[in-house]
Amino acid sequence: MSSIFSFLFRIVLNKYKKNSQDLSKFLTPKKFAEIEEIIGFKISNKNYFTQALIHRSFLDQSYSADISNERLEFLGDAVLNLVVADYLFDNFRDKDEGFLTKTRSKLVNRNALSDAAERINLVKHVLISKQLKNTLSNGLHTVLADAFEALIGAVYLDGGLGHAEKFIKRIIIEPNSKDGGYLRDENFKSQLLEYAQANKMENPRYEVIKEDGPQHDRIFTIRVSVGSDITGNGTGRNKKTAEQNAAHDALSKIPSLN
């Protein structure tokens, strides 16, 4: 990538060097060795990687909020989008901006990031309060996705853009490239809307028909209907997911599409 990014890297690196607090005490030497295996190179600054794994809930009042992984998450998100955009631009030269944008979105969305975090067993290393971990139960996906982006930020700061690019390609791009999964259109709501409009039908209508579970761990059931003939039901931990699943169910019942 161009030298301008190397220049920007040095600026960001110098700013982070000003943080004199030693955070490495939160992780054991064994943990750092395991993280080195994950990232593929030897760590120079342990603070970056410790901070990448610190969720805000882990810190007590003696630490400032900026020691959590939120700032590194912001940086990692930018690096991730750059690397994925560069990869798609180079490998799909015949595709337009719409395809590139949609495909990048599928590679960097929360589901893709939480899958990547599970792939490297990041939950084993994330520092989070026991109370929050118990409260979230199976809803750790957002925490893991955020920590994964923060880890990318740490890799970038400690190893440079080259190591960050290798890490992202190995953990996100290559696993999703094997079966071409990121090329499939999984926006079922959009597909259902296009079908309805192409066949001069009313736009799909979504309604919540049931909510289950405690407030912090809700399960939504949503029904979608297109006219009087096409319906579908779907569940999910949020309304967007439930709507997508309902649209998928409705599409599966349309003979001309199957």
Active-site residues, by number, are: 77, 149
Residue ranges of the alpha helices (H) in the chain?
Answer: 3-17, 29-39, 46-52, 70-91, 97-108, 110-119, 130-136, 141-168, 174-177, 188-198, 239-252
Query: Cα(159)–Cα(147) distance, rounded to whole angstroms?
Result: 18
CB 126 within 8 A of CB 53: yes
Strands 219-226 and 205-212: antiparallel
Task: For residue 254, give Cα distances in angstroms to 122, 129, 233, 235, 249.
Answer: 40, 47, 14, 20, 9
CB 52 within 8 A of CB 146: no
Token reading at 53: 């794994």
In the beta sheet, which residues pair with residue 235?
A: 221
Query: Cα(255)–Cα(258) distance, rounded to whole angstroms?
Result: 5
